[in-house]
Structure 1
Amino acid sequence: MTDDLKLPRRLLIGTALAAPATIARPARADGEVIVRTPGGAYDDVMRRHVYDPFTRETGIRVTVVAATAAKLIAMFRANNVELDLIDTGDAQLMTLEGMGALAPIAYDRWRWSKPEDVTSEVKLPYRVGNFTYATVLAYNRESFPGDNHPKSWADFWDAGRFPGPRMLADIASASVNLEFALLADGVPKDQLYPIDLDRALRSMSRIRPQIRRFWDTGALSAQMLSDREVVLGSIWNGRLQTLIDRNAPLAYTWNEHMIQVQALGIFKDARNVEGAQRLADFMMQPQVQAGYAKALIYGPTNERAFDLLTPDERARMPGGENSRRSGFYQNIVWWHENRERVTRAWSRWVLR
């Protein structure tokens, strides 16, 4: 995610949180791990379910810091790495990996978690997903009562059958909803990548008259639905579920949702690489993941964690077996390789 993840966060998949020019802290040894996080309520959840239990188990103190992707890159380029473990969207970690900034994840030395229990799509040499979230199709139940609501992105694009103001994501949110535009245009889920950018933008042009605004943060998308500025839109599932739990007349379909990943990476030049490796291992335990997944309303990546959740809890989370059948993983390799091209094309298109 890119903004303050659900929750009270999205965190999430490119964070725009401000960071100080330098991270003020006393000199430390192996008894402290500095973690980059999205900040806000996310830190409270992780403190309760991960950091404090880790400190009790190991004696290693965990200090959290909010830092933008630009700050992380600047640290590495200046040879002044002030962080150990990076908890961020996997797209940001892919950028750092491409620069040679990350250490391999020490799966062979895990002692709390079992690498074979981690979903294969998120278990990679230099990063490991610690939860999944999803972008879903949300709708207002008062505008679309009963079963008369959009059930696919083709329905979302059908303003005749399902009238009303809509929203979709802007490039500033991390990525625009090109995949949904192609699904609406008849492209099967398993043929979305490589994205046909021209076709996707032509599809976007057909729905653009109905788009009230392209949202750039999770907070804005939630506000627009909550205030009924729009009655349909793409939104991160955690942001939406928070509104639903507060009795907002909103709902969503899991059909054709896009699964996205929050992941862990370790700076290779970190002062406490070993402590960061241990914290990553600790965080990936099924019982630990089950705890923070319930609080964040996002999906665990340790398959064993789903066994510790109730059916109702599993139904609210992406990344499980049913989720993988009805949705698809965003291809961040394609986005990493094409982001600049998409940004240029989007900037031209949105100003037309």
Structure 2
Amino acid sequence: MSNSTFKPKNTISRRSMLKITGAALVAPMIWVKNSEAAQERVVIRSPGGAYDDIRKKLIYEPFTKETGIRVIPVATTTAKLHAMIRSGNIELDIIDNDDSVLLQWADELAALDYAHFKYTDPADILPEYKHDNYVGNFVYADVMGYNTGKFNSASVPANWVDFWDYKKIPGTRALADVDTGGPNLEFALLADGVPMDKLYPLDLPRAFKALSRIKPGISKFWTSGALSVQMLSTGDADVSSVWSTRILKGMESGAPLAINWNQHSVHVQAYAALKKAKNLENAQKLIDFCLSKEVQSKFSSLWNSGPVTETAYKALTPELREKIPGGDRTREHGFLLDANWWAKNRNEVGKEWAKWSLNS
């Protein structure tokens, strides 16, 4: 209450007394909030949900106990991130997102201070995931998933050429929609005979021509990881592209699902600190902490994802290595998605997809 509106009287009415006591009750809460604001902090963009639940116990709370720095995860969309960065009103310190998404803001990302890492040996980070201004967090894969009521390991399409041949190998198919951020253009090109090591730069006309060939055999282009697993579990799709982390959770829940790892694509979830971050030093410390061997290996077991450091991968049990991308499996049967290509061409892909959807 300001001095301009408060007029002292000799007597205090019941309404005035309620206002005063109410203010006294609110004051301690304001003090708590102000004290929290004064605490060292770091604000990180996060996917949210179960992901944050795991990371709160595994990373954020131990990091706060170790450093005194409070971690504030904020779940937000790519569109909101883009608007924030464009406005220059930076409220986040770290972005935790797909590397191909991060790279669209490459000029806004701070150099990572590997030289002062305390919890992680920078030399332990696998070179394909280590970059000047961003670094891998974990890896997952786009795989061929199938319903075991329809296929088994011998009868499922052996590769994407077979997947495309829905007349020779009957069964309902599904693929990713453009709304997922990345339709399965690589798989379309593999189905058209392009070798895994010759995919990039992607030949868009050839990829969409291949998609037109399989479109009659597609029951639905899925728009979320949850939907892809649901379709496979219920039999609405017998075989589909699907994110490895999603289908593995379904398998753990008892759904009749399995994975064909041949010709899988590896995606990198990555960290980057923003140049204009208000807590840049704290951001560097949290990224360092997140890449430690203990965090990397434990998170892999909880999220069914691949670690980005060599020692963490070696620390995994043989059983866990069988469930995740990385190591010899990816070297022999998979490829790394080209994040730079997608960062530069995602808008063009969206335009081509819109035209293709209308005309094919």
When the two structures are superposed, what TM-score results if normalisation uses the length of structure 1?
0.90
- Judging changes above 3 Å, is the alpha-carbon distance between structure 1 residues 25 and 102 closer, same or farther for their aligned structure 2 residues? farther
Name the SS of the counterpart of 1:213 in structure 2: strand
* Cα distance between partner residues in 2 of 1:176 and 1:29: 44
Query: Kindly tell me: are residues 317 and 26 of structure 1, through their superposed partners in 2, closer, same or farther at Cα, counting changes over 3 Å?
Result: farther
For 1:167, the aligned partner's letter is A
Distance 1:112 1:159, change over 3 A: same
Q: One-letter code of the match for 2:274? A: F
Q: 1:168 — aligned with what?
A: 175
Alignment of 1:1-352 (within 5 A): 28-29=37-38, 31-97=40-106, 100-145=107-152, 147-352=154-359
Residue of structure 1 equivalent to 2:26: none
Map Cα deviations across residues 23-60 of structure 1 (whole Å, 9 max, x no partner). x9987356111111000000011111111111111111
Shift of 1:201: 1.1
Q: For residues 82-130 of structure 1, give each alpha carbon's deviation from its aligned partner in whole angstroms, at most 9, with x where no partner exists.
A: 1111111112210111xx2111111111111011111111111111011
C-alpha displacement of 1:319: 2.2
Aligned residue type for 1:152: N
Report the Cα offset of residue 283 of structure 1: 0.2
Provide the secondary structure at the position in 2 that maps to 1:247: coil
Identity %: 45
Report deviation, 1:136: 0.1
Segments of structure 2 that go 5 or more residues without pairing to the other structure are 1-32
Structure-2 separation of matches of 1:146 and 1:166: 17
| Aligned residue type for 2:51 | Y
Instruction: Deviation per CA, 1:319-348: give whole Å up to 9, x if none.
Output: 223223210011121112222221111111
Tell me, in whole angstroms, the C-alpha distance in 2 between the residues paired with 1:72 and 1:142: 42
Partner letter of residue 132 of structure 1? V
Aligned length: 327
- The residue type equivalent to 1:64 in the other structure is P
Q: Which amino acid aligns with 1:316?
A: K
1:253, distance to aligned residue in structure 2 (A): 1.1
Q: Which ranges in structure 1 are unaligned for 5 or more consecutive residues?
A: 1-23
Tell me if the contact between 1:287 and 1:308 (Cα under 8 Å) persists in the aligned partners: no
| Alpha-carbon offset, residue 282 of structure 1 | 0.3
Mapped to 1, the partners of 2:119 and 2:198 lie a distance apart of: 38
Contact 1:290 1:309 in 2 (8 A): yes
Instruction: Go from structure 1 to structure 2 and tell me whether the alpha carbon gap of 1:25 and 1:40 turns closer, same or farther (over 3 Å shift).
Output: farther
User: Which one has a larger percent helix, Structure 1 or Structure 2?
Assistant: 2
Q: State the alpha-carbon separation in 2 of the partners of residues 180 and 30 from structure 1.
A: 48
Contact 1:127/1:264 (CA < 8 Å) preserved in 2? yes
RMSD over aligned Cα, in angstroms? Answer: 1.5
Residue type at the aligned position of 2:99: D
Alignment-mate amino acid for residue 117 of structure 2: W
C-alpha contact 2:104 2:344 (8 A) present in aligned 1: no
Residue 174 of structure 1 and its aligned partner are, at CA, apart by: 0.8
8 A contact 2:39–2:70 mirrored in 1: no
Contact in 1 for aligned 2:147/2:233 (Cα 8 Å): no
